[in-house]
Amino acid sequence: MIPPGIVERMYRTFYEISPDLVCTLDDDGIVLDVNQRMLDHFGYSKDYVLGRSCFDFIADGYKKTALDGFREMKEKGIGPMIELSLIKNGGTTFFGLCRGARVSDDEKQNGYLITIQDISPIREALEKAKHAEEQAKARYDELKKTHESLLVLEKKYQNLYENAPDLLRTIDLYGIIVDCNESYAKNLGYSKEEIIGKSLIEHTSKKSYDEMMKGIDEWKSSGTISNKEIWMKRKDGSEFPTLLSGVSIYDENGQVVGRTVSLRNITDIYQAKMIIEQDQSKINEQYEELKKTNLLLGMTEQKYRSLYNTSPDLLRTIDSDGTITDCNYAYAKNLGYSKDEIVGMQIYDHTAEKSLDNMKEIFNLWKSGTSVVNKEIWMKRKDGTTFPALLSATIFYQGSKMGSNTVIKDITDLYDAKKKIEENEMRLREQYEELRDVEKSKEEFLTMITHELKTPLVPIQGYVDILLAEKFGTLTNEQKHRLEIIKSNVRYLMKLMSDLLDVQKIELRQLKLNKENNNLADIMREVIENVKPDVEKHNIKISANLQPGLFCICDKLRMAQVINNLINNALDFCPKINGQIFIKLHADGTNYKIIIKDNGIGISKSKLDKIFVKFYQVDTSTTREHGGSGIGLAVCRGIVEAHDGKIWAESEGEGKGTEIHILLPQ
């Protein structure tokens, strides 16, 4: 405990030598007292300040903030920490971090102690570092105006000491800490009880030991120490920079008995300083890079000039008036001028008459700030001949003056080629129309011949059936066998004619479908039953896995035609000894999937996409051995796609069988 006899002098000494600007106000905000540091900082005399309202020294834009803070202080006893723009003598302003607290003589009379910290240097440092600094925390507690009693003075001093945002500690002549405020204890991570009685060296970073000892010597000789940078050490071992300022405490005999020290945490300022140093280092590096870049630019300029002059393309440089300021040798040679003749001429001097309007549009487009790319223009030579060219123009600026580097490509060869292409295209269109007429005639002939061939087959099939029924007499086995061959070939020709007609209808998009809600399993089961005689005749095993209850909007007869074609196709290419055909129907997401798989001759992967093309045969010798016209799968694809479905083939290769997949929407 500090001896009571010296408390009043301690308070007054602290009030006067505080590094902050301190004043005392009454309930109406009238200035009752002010320390010398505040008078010096503001530039006013004490007589001028005393008795005036504190709001007279606050800039207009901040008076409401100050009034709100003053009211809160009156209501709660301690005001918020606020940042205000304050007016010095002469009208200049500075930013101050202000806080106040109520100190009372008795219950009827109140006083308010205000502390102000000039934070302009901190703001400037943070602005240079482009790094926002957190506002300084409140570091003030008010002292009461009067010095009526030692108890009140001690209370005011302790209030200011304890609530200051700066780190405060009091030491004796031997460097032992006899008191500290909450900010000091909290920042260093100790309780106050742990701190009292410890040497100040225990809270000093090793790198600041020597500086701290010099500070102690300076204090002993001068009685004060001001803004000495010291690194502090927390309980957890972490360190932070501070600015240390201290004043001596004297007893009633004027003898030094200790020192009160204010330590301001300058971590943010230190970081800002580091950032400024780093930025300066970067600036130096950028300067060196700029020097290198400038050297490279000089080399690039030489390369550019060489490229410009020797380019086979026609290059010219113009200004914003369309005057040619430079050109390369290819430009001058192609147009039949010397470079000296060209420089100073207008771009229109080198433009063919039929392209003058187009050139004006291009030039105005360029002047509006739009780059020009591959605009066709006709150029004019010195001898009056013209040639077609593609013009591209960029934009560059020399200071505020606009210019362009223009590339002109002579496209005479391309133009001649274009004319030939157009002539060829015209001939191709004529040939195409001729081919369309031929194709139409072919289709009409195919339709006609199909009908004509189908007409005699019907009576042939009828007479064969009558003969086989022995209506005209008994037949020998050989006669029956021959008639069966005739009947089989008639059926084949009838199917061929039907497929040809279907292909024509599909290609002409005239295939009519009678779509109804049909059970796919029933359709497939009926087809399988119909082909069983042929399957059993060739000793081929057929198995089916048909998921029941799958209904599809489809043409029953056409869908049966597809399944029948695919099964007969598989039957035709299966081995006749151990042939196998597997048929599957199942739901696949929002679709129904049909798979018809055989263990026949297979298809090479390069031919899988072609088997659904009209008249395509995988292998001539094979198909001739097995028969087939090459249109059955084309019909299948047309019917499936007419149902908004998909059909495709899969095979691992020749000799490994084939799978036909059909996907139908539900």
Tens digit of each residue's pLDDT (9 = 90 or more) over 384-426: 999 999 998 888 887 778 888 888 988 888 888 888 888 888 8
> What digits encode the pLDDT tens for the residues 592-637?
999 999 998 888 888 888 888 776 665 544 444 444 556 788 888 8
CB 403 within 8 A of CB 320: yes
- Give the whole-angstrom CA distance, residue 404 versus residue 609: 55
215: which residues sit within 8 A by CB, 6+ positions away? 225, 228, 230, 244, 246
**Backbone φ and ψ of 152, nearest 5°:** -65, -45
Q: Find, among 71, 62, 18, 63, the residue nearest to 41 by Cα.
A: 18
Tokens standing for residue 42: 């503001």
113: which residues sit within 8 A by CB, 6+ positions away? 22, 23, 24, 100, 101, 103, 140, 141, 142, 143, 144, 156, 160
529: which residues sit within 8 A by CB, 6+ positions away? none
DSSP assignment of 505-540, as one string?
Answer: HHHTT-----EEEEEHHHHHHHHHHHHHHHHHHTT-
- Give the whole-angstrom CA distance, residue 296 versus residue 292: 6
Q: Find, among 122, 126, 119, 121, the residue nearest to 276 by Cα.
A: 126
- Buried b vs exposed e over 612-636: b needs ≥16 C-beta within 10 Å? bebeebbeeeebeeeebbebbbbbb
| Residues of the chain with confidence (pLDDT) below 50 | 132-147, 149-151, 153, 620-627
Written as one letter, the residue type at 175 is G
125: which residues sit within 8 A by CB, 6+ positions away? 133, 269, 272, 273
Tokens standing for residue 220: 């002993």
How far from 224 is each of 2, 49, 178, 213, CA to CA, in Å?
20, 28, 18, 14
Helix crossing, 556-573 with 520-537: angle to 10°?
30
Predicted pLDDT of residue 274: 82
Integer-rounded Cα radius of gyration of the chain: 53
Max CA separation in the chain (angstroms): 162
Predicted pLDDT of residue 66: 93
Tokens standing for residue 485: 């061959």
